[in-house]
Amino acid sequence: MLKTQVIGYKESTRNCFSKELNNKTLKLFVNKSIFSKIPASALEQFESISQIKEVESPIIAHSDICPGFSVPIGTSFLSLKQSGIISPSAVGYDINCGVRLIKTSLNKSDLTKDKLIELRNKLRSLPIGLSKDGYKITKKDLDEILNTGINWCIKKKICSSSQTNRIESRGVCKFASSNLVSVLAKKRGIIELGTLGQGNHFIDVLFVDKLFNSVLSKKFGLKKNQVVILIHTGSRGLGHQVANDYNLLCAKKIPFPYFEFNSVLGQKYFKAMSAASNFAFVNREILSLRIKGIFSDIFIGQLNLKLDLVCDLSHNIASIENINGQKYIVHRKGSTLVTKEGPIILPGSMLDNSFLLFPDKCISKTFNTLPHGLGRSKSRLDAKEEININELITIMNKNGIELGGRSENVMREEQPGAYKDSSEIISTLKQLKLAKVIVSFKPIIVITG
């Protein structure tokens, strides 16, 4: 079992725990059950953020809080743009890791057993895991991708400009500079565009299980039993290399590596991070293109087959935002920006439902931030040792879910018991008036990296 530590926290309101430390308020938007199981190492990392004088109060965490590299996943904080900080560790190694939701014109009834198996096998043949079989691009293409993001895809007629309003930042981080991305990072990225990656990255095929809000579900074009696709991936080795390169350059390393935002190196990292973010937006678009090709091949008789983007959201990024009339640098590591237009994706586990959410009236209490997922309840090692691959496949088959992946070890690490129960997270978000539930999605195919 993971050691937990809850010293000094009090339940300030129902489903919200807080602690005063270094003249700052630490806030955890979790229920009692989840709070009692937070690993001590995650809380220690969370509390360490308060040591940096430039960080503003409050510092927040959601139910998906768990240990990360120096800074815990599931947290966010802000500092004033004019005097603030930027940290590669507080953004994370997978810069602009994010989730994309695509709706299809298919119904669950269209996915016969034979079609499901064929679809699983073809999705499994994509460049998943640590694949280097990326979409073929030139060095000039890569620089343009890093500088212009999704606009490169529009120029190449890979996607239309009409979908950019469904992508965070319209798919372009405008401060990006490819010149500040290292040769090694580019060498890694040029062979990885349109690949999934390993760890908790996935491609899921799901169907709309329940409608909770008929007005909002209609607004986003979702109906009962409709088939959808979730893609979870980021900037791959390019983003990891950018984070590593700049972490090594940080002179200030306590409690974790960071730069003054307006310093020369702070600005260089911000522009390199923005370039890696642009790569991630394009990576998800190219992977979508490959997935759409598979659906078109399998459902060739469906003359009216359509696959449309619902939203594409990041959960590892630092951005400049206007809050209460002032400009801040907002770090979100394993947490998602909420806009007034919504929606927000909360992915589930292999068995547990995923959810589409919409911001509620109290969302400003978290400076417009929601959790990026359920959060791990077991370490990767514990999850893997708890189950063998045959047991996992049997469980999935009993629940009518086709499982595929490149690595049996990764599938075991990502087994359903590795994650928290979605009902607790959803209940907390609703009770705190942070989010409304639009629909839930039930998985039928799960592809891990």
Which of the residues are catalytic? 372
Tokens of 86: 């930027």
β-sheet bridge partners, residue 167: 312
Closest CA to 276 of 151, 350, 180: 180
Q: Which amino acid makes up residue 416? A: P
What is the C-alpha to C-alpha distance for residues 152 and 148, in angstroms, rounded to an integer?
6
What is the C-alpha to C-alpha distance for residues 278 and 281, in angstroms, rounded to an integer?
5
Characterise 33 by phi-psi region: left (phi > 0), alpha (psi -120 to 50), beta (else): alpha
What is the C-alpha to C-alpha distance for residues 146 and 133, in angstroms, rounded to an integer?
19
Closest CA to 298 of 114, 102, 105: 114
**Angle in degrees, CA 410, 387, 407, rounded to 5:** 20
Quick one: DSSP state of residue 251? S
Alpha-carbon distance values, 202 to 18, 90, 126 (Å): 34, 23, 12
| Residues with Cβ within 8 Å of residue 215, at least 6 apart in sequence | none
